[in-house]
Structure 1
Amino acid sequence: MKILILGAGGVGGYFGGRLIEAGGDVTFQVRPARARNLAANGLVIKSALGDAKLPVRTIEDAQGAGPFDLVIVSCKAYDLAPAIEAIAPHVAAGAIVLPLLNGMRHHDDLRARFGAEQTIGGMCQIETTLSPAGEILHKSEFARMVFGPFEEYPPTPRAQAVVSDLATLCGSANFSARLLDPVDQALWDKWVMIGTLGGITCLMRGATGDVMAAKEGRELIEELLQEAISVATENGYPPSADYLVNARKLLMAPGSTFMASMLRDIEKGGAIEADHIIGDMYRRAHEFGHDANVLRMVYCHLQAYEARRARGGL
Structure 2
Amino acid sequence: MRILILGAGGTGGYFGGRLVESGADVTFLLRPERARRVQENGLVIKSPVGNAQLQVQTVLAGEAARKFDIVLVTCKAYDLDSALQAIEPHVDAGALALPIMNGMAHNDRMRERLGHGRVIGGIVQCSTTVNAFGEIEHLNPMARMVFGAFADQPNHLEIDPVLDDFEAAVGKASFSAKRADPIDQNLWDKWVMLATLAGMTTLMRASVGEIMATKGGPDLMAEFLEETVAVATEAEYPPSEDYLKNVRSLLFDRNSGFTASMLRDMEAGGPIEGEHIIGDMYHRARDAGLDAHLLRVAYCHVQAYAARRTKQAGLT
Give the equivalent residue in structure 1 for 2:275: 275
1:64 alignment partner in structure 2: 64
Contact 1:62 1:87 in 2 (8 A): no
Aligned to 2:241: 241
- Residue of structure 1 equivalent to 2:74: 74
How far 1:255 moved relative to its partner? Answer: 2.7
Per-residue deviation, residues 23-59 of structure 1 (Å, max 9, x unmatched): 1111101111101100100001111111111101111
Secondary structure of the residue that 2:143 maps to in structure 1? strand
Letter in 2 for 1:223: E
What does 1:79-98 correspond to in 2, within 5 Å? Answer: 79-98=79-98
Amino acid at match of 2:93: A
Q: What residue in structure 1 maps to residue 108 of structure 2? A: 108
SS of residue in 1 equivalent to 2:117: helix
Shift of 1:63: 2.1
Distance 2:70 2:313 in 1: 41
Q: Which structure 1 residue ranges, 5 or more long, are not aligned?
A: none
Tell me the residue number matched to 1:181: 181
Sequence identity, in percent?
55
Query: What is the CA deviation profile of residues 192-246 of structure 1, one whole-angstrom value per residue up to 9, with x for unaligned ones?
Result: 0000000000010000111111111100000100000011001111000011111
Q: For 1:213-252, what aligned pairs fall within 5 Å after superposition? A: 213-252=213-252
Is 200-209 or 62-71 further displaced after alignment? 62-71
Q: Is 2:122–2:147's contact at 8 Å kept on the other side of the alignment?
A: yes
For each residue in 1:93-148, what CA deviation from the matched residue of structure 2 results, as whole angstroms up to 9, or x when unmatched? 11100001000000000110011110101010000000111110001000000000
Where does 1:71-220 land on structure 2 (aligned, <5 Å)? 71-220=71-220
CA contact (8 A) 1:170 1:177 kept: yes
CA distance in 1, matches of 2:116, 2:288: 25
Query: Partner residue of 2:45?
Result: 45
Give the C-alpha shift of residue 270 in structure 1: 0.4
Q: Structure 2 CA distance, aligned partners of 1:156 and 1:116?
A: 11
The RMSD of aligned alpha carbons is 1.1
- Alpha-carbon contact 2:265-2:272 (below 8 Å) kept: yes
Letter in 1 for 2:205: R
CA–CA distance in 1 between the matches of 2:48 and 2:214?
A: 33
TM-score (norm 2): 0.97
What is the distance in 1 between the residues matched to 2:54 and 2:10? 15
- Of 276-285 and 210-219, deviating more is 210-219
